[in-house]
Chain A
Amino acid sequence: MLIGLPARLNFYFTMKSIYKFLLVSFVAATSSALLTSCDKTIEEPLRVGYTPATLDDKAGTWKPYILSTPTAVTVAAPVATTSSAYAAELSSLKAKSAELTRAQQEAVVYWGAGAVYRWNEIARELAAKYNLPPASNAAGTYPVPDPANPNADPRFPFANPPYTARALAYLSVAQYDALVATWHYKYLYKRVAPSKVDAGIRVALPVSSLPSYPSEDAVVAAASAVVLKAMFPGEVAFIDAKVAEHAASRQWAGMNVESDLTAGSSLGTQVAALVMGRARTDGMSAANNQSLTAGMIEAAQGRGQTQIWLSQESPIRPPMLPNYGAVSTWNFDRATLVKLRPGPAPLPGTAQFDKELDELKTIQKTQTREQARIANFWADGAGSYTPPGHWHRIAANAAHEARYSEVRMARTLALLGTTLQDAGVCCWETKFYYYTPRPQQFGVKTSVGLPNFPSYTSGHSTFSGAAATVLSYIFPERSQEFMDKATEASVSRIYGLIHFRSDCETGLICGKNIGSYAVNRGKADGSGL
């Protein structure tokens, strides 16, 4: 405003009032900034426990993924609540729950939000921690993370989207299968909650009429620990500490006697061992087989792909998991996967390709703040829990808000988790089948960072289409919201300038088709849901 002042005489004359104005506004701005936000504590959403909307007492009959039947794992019959052994357990529980420290209270509230809910969240945190690509070395190559030495640089794993999709799928499947077996045994043995035997037990969480043997919390903790230690072998101590705190919190809360927990831990471990048996033979160990890419490129060129994908990194980085498309799917077979693969992308040089490239060049020049916001919100790039993690978070929150029982929460996340991995496998198979170039090979920059693998189809779009389809089935009243999110996640990759429109639109459709197989599974799993 001073710049605009024209003449010197006027300037002298008006100077004082301007000073005054500037001084007052400056002091006001400064003090209001100070007063409103000196406290820099960050408030994060707090999730607390609830009484489930329904107990799902028939869940012992729901169809598991890996277990042939709940009785494939064993749980010994509990001692009677009238026995002296149980009385001893009760008095031990009474002592542990009588008086809690602040830290114990916090642990009770934290774990009380839900066993499946918290372990899913922990897995997402580990994904974010490990989702960092190896740095190049002095020789200009990229060392491969070593599972036998997970804490060396580069750390194992590089929890990229395909890796994380798989880790979360196994986690959710192990939790679900274990809880189906748990429900079977709970209603077989029907041992009531300790506080229903002895009204003198102080409980810190809502108590339902769900039988408490074996403890669903101990089941979930044990099953989750087996899967997560395999997926994140550098985190064994961290995971063990979480398991110990989780189990202890059930006693601090007056919810489980020791034998509830011991039986649960045993059941969870048994089921997870069976589930991880599948993981050892699902083809993941060959997902990073880089020797296959030459043949893939040749095959793509044979199908008419004139210009193929090239890594845009320096030094050239080998593509992310080129053979992930060969990893086992959950909800359909290999022949179906081939049918789910879309037709080819527009070829460079065609009018359609030029049109889509022009769209990106225009956005590069005119990107609005809203487009940038959408691109950033869904970017879920390096250092994040990836798009599969993002959708697990959305699903876990929706199930929490619907006050789902542990077993129904696990079913939700298993349907979601398996479809997300199916989406990853299908998308990767398509990417390396067509081997199409990225927009950056045509002079486009990016406002979110460029993934290091072929363009068509968009992973975000495929993941999101599949996830939104499954969540729409589970929460029909929120269907529009999930579909809108998927559409936004899909188009975010255009706004971020790393995908052509065809990559996104076709990927979204493929994702929805992929999701329908998980929906069919859900409709036929005996839950009646």
Chain B
Amino acid sequence: MKILRLFVVAGALLTGLPAWAQMPHDAIYMPKNSACIAGMYGQSTWNEYWEGSLKRANFNIGTHTTQSAMLMPAIGLSNRVNLILSLPYVWTKTSAGNLMGQRGFQDLSGWLKIRLAEHKGLSLHGVVGGSLPASRYVPDFLPMSIGLGARTVTSRLLVNYTHPRTGLYLTAQGSYNWRSNIRVDRDSYYANERLHQTNEVQVPNGYDAAVRVGVLRQKWQTEVFAERMANLSGDDIRRNDMPFPTNNMQATTVGWYGKLQPRHIGVNARVGYVVNGRNMGQATSYTVGLLYQIGGL
């Protein structure tokens, strides 16, 4: 009986707020017996979104904001195997309308990054990751929900070339993201053009791909990137409906990332802008982090 506000999940939510510090998507490794702990704050906002392919605003949302605080340790299990963990606390709000913001611990993620081969600056890496919801947040009160509630498994291949003398690098990656079904509080919902009479919801699997160009030096790093994420199935938000976890969410993001770490303590920052999407908000996001390295120097 609720009348509408149209909502879309913030871009960051979909990918499970992957971290951007020490990262499951770069070719950088913590040396054996060292660790880097990043504490990060992120914010993502949008005031337009794609309802299917229709770009629109919603005066009952105004500007939608997702904020997160995250702890992310990266650990050098060996010089070519790193373990990266992250646990974000997320909260949402809107500038208009009357939807109650949601807050809580989102998903606990873990990634193993392995350097599979290396030859003269050219390297091939495999990443396997997974995530589990860290609290019982409501996944289908979109776009206010802090996550989609699915368990995920990601496998990623990453190719990197770093010019040995200048530190100039080019990275390309591709991933397959498997997502589990979820259980919602309601026991019926309309999705994929039919009524479902169950509380079980299929969250589509997806892929992501990215290209990054940058310079990596001992104490600093700067890069520009383009990322693409898309589900491999799913439905569109219906005309003037709310978004739902079954939606085929897609986004192309461009942005910049930089890191400065003179010694144990460092900082990093990322900005991103969604240039194209489907069933998602056109988000502008930034993240800033404080890094602390233990050992390895």
Point out which of A8, A43, A317, A447 has the most chain B C-beta atoms below 10 A from its C-beta: A447
B72-109 interface code vs A (CB 8 A; 1 in, 0 out):
01010100000101000000000011111110000000
B209-244 interface code vs A (CB 8 A; 1 in, 0 out):
000000000000000000000000000001111100
Which residues in A have their C-beta under 8 angstroms from that of B140? 376
CA–CA, A445 and B100, complex, Å: 5
**B111 to chain A: closest CB distance in Å?**
9
- A133 and B151 contacting across the interface, CB-CB below 8 Å: no
- A136 and B180 contacting across the interface, CB-CB below 8 Å: no
Contact of B77 among A23, A121, A136 (CB under 8 A): A23
B260, CB-defined interface residue at 8 Å = no
Point out which of A15, A154, A364, A387 has the most chain B C-beta atoms below 10 A from its C-beta: A15
A443-472 interface code vs B (CB 8 A; 1 in, 0 out):
011111111100000011000000000000
**A321 to chain B: closest CB distance in Å?**
12
Given contacts A34-B178, A134-B240, A447-B141, 10 further A-B contacts (CB under 8 A): A23-B83, A26-B110, A33-B151, A313-B4, A320-B3, A377-B185, A382-B3, A446-B99, A449-B5, A449-B99
B residues sitting closer than 8 Å to A (CB atoms) are 1-6, 33, 35, 37, 56, 59-60, 71, 73, 75, 77, 83, 85, 96-102, 110, 112, 128, 130, 132, 136, 138, 140-141, 151, 153, 178, 180-181, 184-190, 194-198, 200-202, 238-242, 294-295
A58, CB-defined interface residue at 8 Å = no
Q: Which chain A residues in 124-167 approach chain B with CB under 8 Å?
A: 124-125, 128-129, 132-136, 153-155, 160-161
Which residues in A have their C-beta under 8 angstroms from that of B2? 379, 381-382, 446, 448-451, 498
Q: Which chain A residues in 1-40 approach chain B with CB under 8 Å?
A: 2-3, 8, 11-12, 15, 19, 22-23, 26, 29-30, 33-34, 37-38, 40
- A128 and B240 contacting across the interface, CB-CB below 8 Å: no
Contact of A2 among B6, B35, B242 (CB under 8 A): B35
**A144 to chain B: closest CB distance in Å?**
14
- B100 and A133 contacting across the interface, CB-CB below 8 Å: no
Q: Which chain A residues in 363-419 approach chain B with CB under 8 Å?
A: 364, 367, 369, 372-373, 376-377, 379-387, 390, 393
Which residues in A have their C-beta under 8 angstroms from that of B136? 369
Given contacts A42-B200, A449-B2, contact A383 B242 (CB under 8 A): yes
Residue of A nearest to B94 (CB): A445
Which residues in A have their C-beta under 8 angstroms from that of B100? 364, 367, 445-447, 497
Point out which of A3, A314, A386 has the most chain B C-beta atoms below 10 A from its C-beta: A314
A312, CB-defined interface residue at 8 Å = yes
Which residues in A have their C-beta under 8 angstroms from that of B197? 44-45, 393
CA–CA, A44 and B102, complex, Å: 30
A307-336 interface code vs B (CB 8 A; 1 in, 0 out):
000001111010010000000000000000
Interface residues in A, total, Cβ within 8 A? 74
Residue of A nearest to B39 (CB): A3
Which residues in A have their C-beta under 8 angstroms from that of B37? 2-3
Residue of B nearest to A378 (CB): B186
A440, CB-defined interface residue at 8 Å = yes
- A450 and B98 contacting across the interface, CB-CB below 8 Å: yes
Which residues in B have their C-beta under 8 angstroms from that of A444? 98
- B1 and A380 contacting across the interface, CB-CB below 8 Å: yes
Q: Which chain A residues in 64-123 approach chain B with CB under 8 Å?
A: 121
**A427 to chain B: closest CB distance in Å?**
11
21 A-B Cβ contacts within 8 A?
A3-B71, A15-B35, A22-B85, A30-B128, A42-B181, A42-B202, A125-B194, A128-B195, A135-B6, A135-B239, A315-B59, A372-B138, A377-B185, A379-B2, A381-B2, A382-B241, A383-B190, A384-B190, A445-B101, A449-B99, A451-B3
